[in-house]
């Protein structure tokens, strides 16, 4: 068996570390969104709660 060509080995390298300029929004935004979703479920009409 022959070794794989270098281009195949290059694809097996681990991903580079995440770029800090494209990180996800802070947790406060996510918590606020969850609070809004829970408020909709608590106060929503049956149309909101339907599957």
Give the pLDDT mean for 16-25: 77
pLDDT tens per residue across span 28-50? 667 888 888 889 888 887 877 66
- pLDDT band for position 17 (cuts 50, 70, 90): confident
- Global pTM reads 0.36
Q: Mean pLDDT over all residues of the chain? A: 73
Contacts of 40 (CB under 8 A, 6+ apart): 48
More confident residue, 43 or 27: 43
Q: Show Cβ contacts of residue 48 under 8 Å, excluding neighbours closer than 6 positions.
A: 40, 41
Per-residue confidence at 27, pLDDT binned at 50, 70, 90? low
């Amino acid at each position: 068996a022959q070794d794989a060509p270098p281009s195949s080995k290059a694809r097996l390298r681990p991903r580079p570390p995440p770029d800090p300029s494209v990180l996800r929004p802070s947790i406060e935004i996510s918590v606020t969104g969850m609070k809004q979703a829970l408020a909709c479920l608590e106060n929503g009409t049956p149309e909101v709660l339907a599957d």
